[in-house]
């Protein structure tokens, strides 16, 4: 079996990516950062989602000698010039929580009219070989920022992200529906589109 590393300690993400890749690539296994504790925390010093995903993928690929896949994602609000963006997870400060982040964002949007509350969830995924060959995929999910949180599912900004087509927030969606529409789901599908060529190159590199 050929292993790759997902630059995450999230067991759910690892299981999900493993199932997807195994359905497209025979004999592949997906490890996580928990399998390489010596790597430690990776500083995300980039200025874009792509920068941060690339930093994580490069660090892990070089540290392990294996193909690494990393993603960076967040919420970009039109009326806030793209904020919170790459700072989505820690928008409310060093001790940020989902609830604190939502409170801060809704306060920043308090005077913004309904017609100007557009936003996007964005995800960028980077797969990288130890020698630096990369495959980049991007997914975007358009929506509107609600005025109050609605729904109990999901995490992060899901309770205030309104999908106009379905008429519900991301936090009101069943997991299967959310995954089919989400920014991360779209990024994975784009990654899979270029995966066969990338994986063939990676195998040649690893054999060399």
Quick: pLDDT tens for 91-123: 999 999 999 999 999 999 999 999 999 999 999
Across residues 183-192, what is the average pLDDT? Answer: 92
The two beta strands, 134-145 and 161-163, are antiparallel
What's the number of CA atoms in the CB half-sphere (13 Å) around residue 192? 15
Q: How many residues does the chain have?
A: 208
How many domains are there within the chain?
1
Q: At what angle do helices 183-207 and 11-22 cross, to 10 degrees?
A: 70
Q: Is 158 a catalytic residue?
A: no
* Of 34, 35, 51, 72, catalytic: 72
Q: Is 113 exposed, middle or buried (0-12, 13-18, 19+ CB in 10 A)?
A: exposed
CATH number of the domain to which 137 belongs = 3.90.950.10
User: pLDDT by residue (tens digit) across 134-147?
Assistant: 999 999 999 999 99
Residue 84 tokens, joined: 């919170």
**Can you give the residue range of the structural domain that contains 135?**
2-207
Alpha carbons 157 and 88: distance in angstroms, whole number: 9
Cα separation, 146 vs 159, in Å, equals 8
**pLDDT tens profile 3-52:** 999 998 878 778 878 888 888 887 888 899 999 999 988 999 999 999 99
Q: What is the three-state SS of the chain?
A: CEEEEECCCCHHHHHHHHHHHHCCCCCEEEEEHHHCHHHCCCCCCCCCHHHHHHHHHHHHHHHHCCEEEEEEEEEEEHHHCCCEHHHHHHCCCCCCCHHHHHHHHHHHCCCCCHHHCEEEEEEEEEEECCCCCEEEEEEEEEEEECCCCCCCCCCCCHHHEEECCCCEEHHHCCHHHHHHHCHHHHHHHHHHHHHHHHHHHHHHHHHC
User: What is the reported pTM?
Assistant: 0.91
Look at residue 208 in the predicted model and tell me its pLDDT. Answer: 65
């Amino acid at each position: 079996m050929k292993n790759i590393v997902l630059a995450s300690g999230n067991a759910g993400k690892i299981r999900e990516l493993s199932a997807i890749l195994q359905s497209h690539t025979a004999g592949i296994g997906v490890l996580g950062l928990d399998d390489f504790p010596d790597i430690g925390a990776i500083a995300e010093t980039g200025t874009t989602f792509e920068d941060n995903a690339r930093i994580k993928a490069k660090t892990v690929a070089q540290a392990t000698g294996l193909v690494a896949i990393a993603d960076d994602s967040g919420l970009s609000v039109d009326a806030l010039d793209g904020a919170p963006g790459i700072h989505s997870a820690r928008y409310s400060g060093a001790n940020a929580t989902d609830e604190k982040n939502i409170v801060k964002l809704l306060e920043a949007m308090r005077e913004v009219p309904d017609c100007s509350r557009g936003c996007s969830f964005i995800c960028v995924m980077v797969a990288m070989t130890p020698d630096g060959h990369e495959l980049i995929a991007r997914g975007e999910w358009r929506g509107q920022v609600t005025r109050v949180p609605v729904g109990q599912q999901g995490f992060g900004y899901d309770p205030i992200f309104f999908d106009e087509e379905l008429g519900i927030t991301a936090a009101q969606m069943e997991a299967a529906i959310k995954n089919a529409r989400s920014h991360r789901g779209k990024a994975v599908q784009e990654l899979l589109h270029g995966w066969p060529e990338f994986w063939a190159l990676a195998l040649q590199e690893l054999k060399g």
